[in-house]
Amino acid sequence: YWMFEETIKITDNSSDVAAARIREYLESKNNVLLNIAITGESGSGKSSFLNAFRDVEDDSEDAAPTGVKETTLEVKEYPHPNYPNIIFSDLPGIGTTKFPAKKYLKRVGFKKFDFFIIISADRFRENDAKLAKEIKKTGKNFYFVRSKVDHNLRDEQRKKDFSQEKTLAQIRDDCVKSLKDQGVESPQVFLVSSHDIHLYDFPHLRETLERDLPEHKRDVLLLSSPSIFPDIIEKKKKVFRRQIWGLTALSGVVAAVPVPGLSVGVDLALLVGAVTRYVTGFGLNVASLKRTASRTGIPYDELKAVLTSQLAAEHITHDLIMKVVLQVSSRAALMAAEEAFRFIPIVGIPASMALSAVTTYKFLKLFLDLLAEDAHRVSDKVLNKNK
């Protein structure tokens, strides 16, 4: 065992350069900047929407304060709690600033934003339409969000012939018409309640934003979405899957750490880096799970109890990865690594390294599967609770 410890130490030192390359690769994925502008009149629900989108509760420490009347021109930035490279900018309402649309855009620094979300708790007004037309001139995208539809539904529910679909359709038609009347061409309006991010048009809005973004930014937005729906979990899994090849290629240059009982080594630094990303991406880190717990009212311990991977809700360290590697390395799938190697030609690197790359690849896939499974378990728990 002592020799084993020693091996890790030596390898860690000698693979500094490779480890740095892996870190660089992972960070390059984390460093794509996305800056989303949220605008709309004071009280329309900007701060609430922005908190909901970040999966942060209104009364938590890093939330944008809600229910406060804005009086200044200040743009406030709120990074995503897991992905600080995604910034939500809380803009003052154009009415608050009393600037014409063009000057308003200039003053808030429109160039840095990837797209705009224009919120109204009511029919869209002249200011909203003027702003949209001005944004269009800059070539950037904008989306109309009609907030507080839960209020409307609650009010309408008292009526005898209440139909949720009909009420929503009416609100939508009304919003679209008011925008068209003010010269906005084919406006699309998303109906949301910031208290229920899994209802109404919230999921559709996310999908639309993703679809409209360039690919590298699309992945960033997707990974930051809460893993409440099975299809989001699967989409995230696909993004991570795609990255595994890139990571494994880097692994080929790393001196691998030998695993007792396994004839090949694995690249621990790489596994730690990647698994940390999976855990965060699936919302399985302690902070995310605690947020989910307080948002859904399901006690944290109950959420934790459904986890089976041993990697979720843990701080991912070399030791933990090694522990899990040792536990699963008896699995037939992994023992077959040497066999797989015969079919995967890796040119230009020594065979032992290539073999460790294949093993590392297999572990990455396995850990990804295990964590996605845990994400599904949490999602099941949450969605069943809401029924």
Tokens of 201: 């048009």
Binding mask 46-65 for Mg ion (x = CB under 5 A): xx------------------
Query: What does 188 interact with, of ligand GDP, Mg ion, none (CB < 5 to 8 A by kind)?
Result: none
> Any contact of residue 193 with ligand GDP (CB under 6 A)?
yes
Nearer to Mg ion, 46 or 206 (CB): 46
> Any contact of residue 195 with ligand GDP (CB under 6 A)?
yes
Write down the least CB distance from residue 258 to ligand GDP, Å.
Answer: 55
**In the chain, which ranges are continuous DSSP H helix?**
2-14, 16-30, 46-53, 94-97, 101-108, 126-137, 149-157, 164-181, 202-212, 215-224, 230-251, 268-281, 286-296, 300-305, 318-328, 332-335, 337-343, 351-386
> Any contact of residue 150 with ligand GDP (CB under 6 A)?
yes
**CA–CA–CA angle 305, 307, 308 (5° rounding):** 120
Write down the least CB distance from residue 174 to ligand GDP, Å.
Answer: 17
Query: What does 67 interact with, of ligand GDP, Mg ion, none (CB < 5 to 8 A by kind)?
Result: ligand GDP
Contact predicate 194/49, CB 8 Å: yes
Near ligand GDP by CB under 6 A: residue from 11, 15, 18, 47: 47
Nearer to ligand GDP, 30 or 164 (CB): 164
> Any contact of residue 60 with ligand GDP (CB under 6 A)?
no
> Any contact of residue 43 with ligand GDP (CB under 6 A)?
yes
What's the rounded Cα separation, in Å, for the pair 136 and 93?
Answer: 18
What is the per-residue burial (b if ≥16 Cβ within 10 Å, else e) of 280-290?
A: bbbbbbeebbe
Residues present in the chain in total: 387
> Any contact of residue 120 with ligand GDP (CB under 6 A)?
no
Number of residues that bind Mg ion (CB under 5 A): 2
- Among 337, 339, 333, 368, which Cα is nearest to 242's? 368
Q: Point out which residues bind ligand GDP (CB under 6 A).
A: 40, 42-48, 66-67, 70, 147-148, 150-151, 193-195
Q: Point out which residues bind Mg ion (CB under 5 A).
A: 46-47
